[in-house]
Amino acid sequence: MRPPTNVQTSSRPTASDDPARSDVTHPANPAWPEWDEWNVRTEICEIGRRLYHHLFVAANDGNISVRLNEEEIIITPTNVSKGFMNPEDMVKLSLDGRLIASRTGKNASSERRMHLAIYKHRPDIRAVVHAHPPTATGLAVAGIGLDKPFLPEIVVRTGPCPLVPYAIPGGDELPDSIIPYLRDHVTLLLGNHGAVAYAPTLIDAAFNMESIELNARIFLVASQVGHINYFDEGQIAALRTRYS
């Protein structure tokens, strides 16, 4: 699956086809290429199915968003299984959380504030994935972070994944709790809750989520069978030099 591309024309539904779709247009900004909205909606559905089939979410768990342009995001609705979404289900919000369009009348995810906080504090980020991968979430419930590297991929790909102390979800507490961690990380464990991953593209955000869970499984096995051999500073520096 490719990241969304800047498609100028499309046979997909247009504003004239859908009265709920916003008529607001934005001037072109080279720093924020406009991604094709239908592609974005479709890819969110695909990533949702991927999370569901990996058992990273159950029932209506999890949420996904993409920054469509400089001023708008597309986000999953509340109370919808991520394995059974349609492109029309997605909700469009402004960067301050204002509802722009909901074709089906569904509300945006209750965790929208967390997504908006990430976009506010990380202008390089254009996609956010929140899920409950079981092994990683188990570590978060146990109060264990993955912030010390023990695999080359942790050093050269995602970086450390610290544990954010528990904050009640659905309001301002959770987004406020992650802000101190956002600048230096692209993956976070959320205490007694789950995990969140973010990246410049949706597929990379999904890959980051997969990496959280795989690293958590390896950590768990290593801790059960023996000793975890963390990299020392010299080994970390050598990896960064080689793969920089």
How many angstroms separate the CA atoms of 178 and 87, rounded?
Answer: 29
Options 37, 43, 111, 210, the catalytic residue: 111
Please state, in angstroms and rounded to a whole number, the distance separating the CA atoms of residues 177 and 52.
26
The answer to whether 43 is a known catalytic residue is no
CB 125 within 8 A of CB 119: yes
Phi, psi of 96 (to 5 degrees): -100, 10
CA distance 138 to 56: 12
**Segment (H or E) for 196:** strand 194-199
CA-wise closest residue to 39 among 9, 15, 17, 18: 9
Question: Which residue is it, tokens 């969304």?
Answer: 4
CA distance 176 to 99: 21
**Residues that are catalytic:** 111
